[in-house]
Amino acid sequence: MFYTIDILGTIAFAISGVLVAFDKRMDLFGVLIIAFVTAVGGGTLRDLLIGNTPVSWMKDITYTYVIIASAFFAIFFRSKINYLRTSLFLFDTIGIGLYTVIGVQKGLQAELHPIICVALGTMTASFGGVIRDILCNEIPVIFRKEIYATACILGGLSYFLLVRLPIENDVALLISGVIVIVVRLLAVKFKIALPNIYREKIRN
């Protein structure tokens, strides 16, 4: 199940990268590169930091095929792709929930401190978008007021609270992923954002 959702998340992230590349009017090579880094950037950083090499997508060629197929799908159906933005948002949200708990688990397997595990989960879920935005000359979403990485952090922290309860580890992981998804959905639906630390100048 996790592998299937991981593939679905990869598809969603790849197509979201294509959409951003379209907005920047990139050529075919640029579109493919942005799709690729969006889909696997977070997992690549995580694996490199914990010394898990070759990184995951290099050991499973399916990810490469999925990313390329998703990119060409978005290219060929770009006139209709805007209708899928809501669905893509849901897949993206599910993806960050899954990738957060995967990152946490990878950290636990490497016997790292819980705080570092949470950081790995957040990186796994969001760093692909960071690379995408930097390459597209945009300020990454997670560095602005939108609730994105914060949801991942809350989900990761909740896992370490849940494991103290008399429940199975898999159940704790599942609940943690759901927390990420719910926080992200509620934040977008009700337009909840982090406070703005910059005061606007009052005009006379």
In the predicted model, is pLDDT for residue 119 greater than 60? yes
**Helix axis angle, 85-109 relative to 149-162, nearest 10°?**
50
Residue tagged 């790849």 (tokens): 14
Q: 95 vs 120, which has greater pLDDT? A: 120
Task: Tell me what pLDDT residue 67 has.
Answer: 96
DSSP single-letter state for residue 82: G
Question: Which pair of structure tokens corresponds to residue 175?
Answer: 């609940």
Rank 85-99, 131-145, 175-189 by mean pLDDT and report only the highest. Answer: 175-189
> Among residues of the chain, what percentage have pLDDT more than 70?
91
Q: 161 vs 4, which has greater pLDDT? A: 161
Average pLDDT of the segment spanning 92-121: 90
Instruction: Report the predicted TM-score, pTM, of the whole model to 2 decimal places.
Output: 0.83
Band of the pLDDT at 155, cuts 50, 70, 90?
very high
Cis peptide leading into 54, omega within 30 of 0?
A: yes
Task: Tell me what pLDDT residue 204 has.
Answer: 45
DSSP single-letter state for residue 195: P
| Count of other CB atoms within 10 angstroms of residue 17 | 30
Output the CA torsion sign for 126, 131, 135, 138.
Answer: positive
Question: How far, in Å, CA of 15 to CA of 21, rounded?
Answer: 10
In the predicted model, is pLDDT for residue 199 greater than 70? no
Band of the pLDDT at 202, cuts 50, 70, 90?
very low
Q: What is the pLDDT of residues 20-76, one digit of tens each?
A: 888 898 999 999 999 999 999 999 999 999 999 999 899 999 999 999 999 999 888
Helix (H) or strand (E) holding 39: helix 28-50
